[in-house]
A and B are shown apart, each in its own frame.
Chain A
Amino acid sequence: MAEFNPKIVAFLCNWCSYAGADLAGVSRIQYPPSIRVVRVMCSGRINPAFILDAFKNGADGVLVAGCHPGDCHYIAGNYKAQRRVLLVQKLMEAFGLEPERLRLEWVSASEGDRFASVVKDMTAEIRKLGPNPIKMLEVED
């Protein structure tokens, strides 16, 4: 059987993490092609519904990346993102989804190498977990 290639939806903040991903690209750092990037203005803009929707639609993992603590372009958006992610992870556990499928990382604009290693690490972890177990459209028996 072919190796399982997870699909990871990555919400990257405009000011730090997206620039970090960009740097990884222009620096030609290799990382697995598992992520689908969604650029948002701030990690604090990510509604938990976006994360749940990604999982419902089959994402194997969701990465939320923002500026390091203290560096948020909007002062405190990343702190709010951190609290939301923690609550959503608790919620995922209750829904029977492994909370490790959702990850929050701080990646600055200068950390292209860190971005690549985060993606590598997360891809490996989700590969171990296997595909997203949500099967929403099961027929009632």
Chain B
Amino acid sequence: MPNEKLKFAFYWAASCGGCEIAVLDVNEAILDVVAAADIVFWPVAMDIKYKDVEAMADKSIDVCFFNGAIRTSENEHLAKLMRQKSKVLVAFGSCAHEGGVPGLANVSNRNEIFETVYLKSCSTNNPGKIVPQTSVGVKEGTLSIPRLYDTVKPLNQVVDVDYYLPGCPPPAKRVAFAIGAIVKGELPPKGSVLAPERSVCDECPRKREEKKIAKINRVYEIVPEPEKCLLEQGIICYGPATRGGCDAQCIDANMPCTGCGGPCPNAIEQGSAMISALASIMGIDSEKETSFDPKKLMDQVKDPIGTFYKYSLAGSILQRKVKK
């Protein structure tokens, strides 16, 4: 079908909208996209209803870029719908890939969240103690809204995913690469992550010497030297445990990597990889000192879930806080 344009769709589930901007960040390359493809569904930019998508033939969309995690019954419905209508489904961005920041809601649950948001927050005035219901009867009939789930899930726990494009949001270069590969029909094997087989450290321009840290510095505590490895300066930088493809943009801005690229190739889990890496360099060679206190050393790590699973909690091994 050389003259027939490809059909693209974009959808957002539980996400912040940044991924939609990332699509536009490819700048004028978007014109090449439009030259090669028709965008048939993109709620943020086009007025199309779900029923129009439901009316499309199965597998009639060539590629769907799906961003955001699955957090509500609506997200899940659309994930299944887009899977049914699309030949290729791409999990776009950290949330679709590993749950992302919305996935951190897995340290809580629906009731706790409703309680905080609708009852307990100090700016709330809710004397009737009304929390969202999925349906309510009014005289015109029944109104309904989607149900919020207790557990946030990445896209691949709900439907089969063909490719992953990690990043928060995916860097413009990776988006352009992915679209180019699709247009040329040069996609890698199904299930691939559309990012290089290397870590952020491999792309980082900073000077690295022997890693050995005694004290963890949080980002606000020091102004890091611009040339030296951030981990060596005691800042928890996720570079060793994060897949590259971003050209170490954050580190370039003197901020540590926080892991949005997802796990490195072959890592079982991103959080575990970072725990291993950090444990291997903290307080090394101080064991023989009489003052050595490993517990005190490791207690410097505050908020382990937020530190080690900032973007990957929902896709991690334990996935969520134990439900009581």
Contacts and interface: CB of A to CB of B under 8 A. Distances in A.
Interface stretch (A11-19, A84-92, A115-123): A84-92
A112 to B, nearest CB: 26
Listed residue (A48, A69, A82, A140) with the most chain B CB atoms within 10 angstroms of its CB: A48
Given A86-B295, A90-B304, A48 B276 contact: yes
Contact of B107 (A76, A83, A94, A134): A94
A3 interface: no
Contacts of A136: 319
A44 B115 CA distance: 43
A1 interface: no
B283 interface: yes
A79 interface: yes
Contacts of B298: 83, 86-87, 90
Contacts of B320: 95
Interface of A: 47-49, 52-53, 55-56, 69, 76, 79-80, 82-84, 86-88, 90-91, 94-97, 133-136, 138, 140-141
A87 B317 contact: no
Given A83-B282, A87-B304, A91-B304, A96 B321 contact: yes
21 contacts: A48-B271, A49-B269, A49-B272, A52-B269, A52-B317, A56-B317, A69-B287, A80-B280, A82-B294, A83-B278, A83-B297, A84-B279, A86-B297, A87-B275, A87-B278, A90-B298, A90-B301, A94-B303, A94-B321, A95-B322, A133-B324
A104 B149 CA distance: 36
Contacts of B316: 52
Contacts of B282: 83
B86 interface: no
Interface size class of B (residues with CB under 8 A): 35 or more
Contacts, number: 90
Nearest to B288: A70
A96 B305 CA distance: 11
B323 A52 contact: no
Given A49-B272, A82-B294, A87 B279 contact: yes
Q: Mostly helix, strand, loop or mixed at chain A's interface?
A: helix
B322 A133 contact: yes
Interface in B259-295: 268-269, 271-273, 275-276, 278-280, 282-284, 287, 294-295
Contacts of B275: 48, 84, 87-88, 91
Contacts of B287: 69, 76, 79
A136 B279 CA distance: 28
Contact of A84 (B276, B304, B318): B276
A84 B272 CA distance: 9
B272 A140 contact: no
Contacts of A55: 318
Listed residue (A76, A87, A140) with the most chain B CB atoms within 10 angstroms of its CB: A87
B149 A140 contact: yes
Contact of A96 (B269, B294, B319, B324): B324
Contacts of A69: 287
